[in-house]
Structure 1
Amino acid sequence: MGLQPTALVVEPRAEDLERTRALLGEAGFRVVPLTRFEAVAPIFEVIRPDVVVLAAHGPEFAAVAVVRRLRQMGAAPVPVFYLVDPDQPEAWRFCLEKGLGVDMVPRTLPGNELALRLHSVLRLRDEVLRAKESGEAATSSALHDELTGVYNRPFLLAMLAQEARRSERYGGPFSVMACAPQGYRAFCKQHGEAMGERLLVYTAVVLGQTVRESDVVARVSGEEFALLLPAMEEDALPGLLARIATRFELARFQVEGKALKISLLLGAVSFPDMVGTPAQLLSAAIQEMRRSRDVRRWDVGMSRLSV
């Protein structure tokens, strides 16, 4: 990313477009404003922006079609955001359920918080890309889990440390999420360790397809995964957790020709609502995830007692 990153901003409402353009311009972005969604693909090919911000308006929600087109063009490394009016619940719902995993940003963000989010995501993306390049030049085993291909625990902790330093210096939140297939050990006991390993690979693939390009997915223990979510504040976590849970509910894992419904245990914490070392933040997210498992067990037990 250069000294002045380029943001492609698409907003059919001229007044809102000018407001966003001015805000990002003051924050150091070179802004390319557009009012027509059909012009995004050809303009994208010419300027190759560092980030894309798309206003999501119903009932057409042309922004979602633009994201689909950008992915067909191989633009996956470029972070994309939906700019959504928080007083339009149908827009939030549509983007959450059918927005192809793209992060949503409320139009009413105070001050330069939108710019801080974009800068944070771009900095982390560049760090990840540099780490990938150095890892490929040396040995990928230093960065990646051998079974699933996602990052490993040491790399995640290193990225957490870098993101914490950025947040302390520049401001802005980030979150850490932990997840694991529910009932994993029982699954292995019933279907065997080899099928359990397939389930872990499947989990890693679905996570990678669901979260943002800027997020870091890692396997941190046997069946447990964790994610670094840059610029993700605590209030936005329920929507993300719901999106990931829904994605797993829709997916199906094949075992002996039968499609099984896989669910995830999920837990997350946010900085600066919670502070600590990278290891402490990761442990806190894992504890939140395990607490959700205990709650589910309690719910099941109560249901049996009430029968």
Structure 2
Amino acid sequence: MALRRKHKRAEQPLTVLVVEPRAGDLERTRVVLGEAGFRVVPVTRFDAAGPLFEAIRPDAVVLAAQPPDYAAIAVARRLRQMGRGAVPMLYLVDSDDPDTYRCCLEKGLCVDIVPRSGSGEELVLRLRAQLRLKAAVRRAIVPEDAGSAALHDPLTGLYTRAFLLELIALEMRRTERFGGTFSVVTGSLDDFRALRKASGRPLAERLLVYSAVVFGQTVREADMVARVGEEEFAVLLPGTPAEGVPDVMARVSERFALARLQVEGRVLRPSLTLGAVSYPDVVGTPVQLLSSSLQALRRAREERRGAGAAGMGLTV
């Protein structure tokens, strides 16, 4: 009997959803990505992106960012929520349109920018780089079958420390390429460990979840919030220079000062110590930037303790 040779199943091409209102540009992008081996789903209407995204679950998304309404940014926000941040996205921007570059840098939700070129080579290279980054992050922090949960803290639903570091690295590359700045603000719940010791882990975890909600309601939609330690949080602020950080910190502090969590007949008032760094005022690796911000937080806590500040911390 002759042996039947088993053929390895050919790997399926990765699917890219391309949203481009200009039909001619859409066709050129479709051809470029198709020749590079991607399966392309082209669409000219931004309002169709959401239903298509849900139906086909693409591996990546390319959005043409154009004035006057910059609809691509609003669509990126919606798709990021639908995909829980697990699907790489790129803005495709005309090379001679500095206003759109600036808008995407300041409000673009940390989505990378690719200039439109005749050959499309840079789009292909950056798309493959994003997909490799996604695969590397998943391999590094969770098993392959964990899906988009790989990027999110299971308790609070915020981004994980590992994924935040990847986002910081991406933002560093963007600022080095296009200019600009960004900041990282960190916050730590005061007296959290004393509460956990006195009242138990379940109550302490409810406080963490509540604090994550407060952070999400306070920062801009373009900002990225992560849990980076047991009671420590961090916020990546794209396009925010050092001069803008005090306003952000004041807004967060004021929001936490008003926060109340009622549980089991008790009222908890979480308070926060904050620290921050800005790039490129402070340079280094993503880990060093995050560590510098946490060090600034701890210095602020020591200074406050040294000053003998009263009435700060967690009130029960």
TM-score by length of 1: 0.60
The answer on whether the counterparts of 1:125 and 1:214 sit within 8 Å (CA) in structure 2 is no
SS at match of 2:235: strand
State the match for 1:287 in structure 2. Answer: 295
Residues of 2 paired with 1:278 and 1:77: CA distance?
27
Unaligned runs of 5+ in 1: 6-27, 33-47, 53-73, 79-111
Residues 188 and 196, structure 1, Cα contact 8 Å, conserved in 2 = yes
Root-mean-square deviation (Å): 3.5
User: What is the rounded CA distance, in whole Å, between the counterparts of 1:193 and 1:251 in structure 2?
Assistant: 20
Secondary structure of the equivalent of 2:71? coil
Deviations 1:174-233, CA, capped at 9 Å, x for gaps: 011111111111121222111111111111111111111121111111111111111111
Give the 3-state SS of the residue equivalent to 1:178 in structure 2.
strand
Q: CA deviation at 1:50?
A: 3.6
**2:246, 2:98 → 1: CA distance?**
20
Alignment partner of 2:104 out of 99, 113, 119: 119
Q: Which amino acid aligns with 2:104?
A: H
Change (3 A) 1:231 1:183: same
Structure 1 residues 270 and 149 mapped into 2: Cα distance closer, same or farther (>3 Å)?
Answer: same
Helix, strand or coil: the match of 1:30?
coil
In the alignment, residue 282 of structure 2 is paired with which amino acid? M
Could you tell me how far apart the structure 1 residues matched to 2:155 and 2:225 are?
14
Using structure 2 for the length normalisation, give the TM-score. 0.58
Give the equivalent residue in structure 2 for 1:248: 256
Alignment pair present for 1:180 and 2:184: no
Change (3 A) 1:176 1:300: same
Contact 1:266 1:292 in 2 (8 A): yes
Question: What SS does the aligned partner of 1:203 have?
Answer: helix
Q: Deviations over 1:138-172 (max 9, x none)?
A: 61331111111111011001111000000000000
User: Is residue 165 of structure 1 aligned with residue 151 of structure 2?
Assistant: no
Structure 2 unaligned segments of length 5 or more: list them.
1-17, 23-64, 80-96, 114-130, 139-143, 312-316
Contact preservation (8 Å) 1:4, 1:30: no
Larger C-alpha radius of gyration, 1 or 2?
2
Partner of 1:31: 68
- How far apart, in 1, do the equivalents of 2:285 and 2:293 lie? 12
Q: Is the 8 A contact 1:4 1:29 kept in 2?
A: no
Aligned mates of 2:279, 2:21 — CA distance in 1: 27
Structure 1 residue 123: Cα displacement: 6.0
Sequence identity (%): 46
Distance 1:123 1:240 in 2: 17
Cα deviations by residue, 1:32-61 (Å, 9 ceiling, x for unpaired)? 5xxxxxxxxxxxxxxx82458xxxxxxxxx
Distance 2:98 2:272 in 1: 31
Distance (Å, rounded) in 1 between the aligned partners of 2:308 and 2:206? 27
| Match in the other structure for 1:69 | none
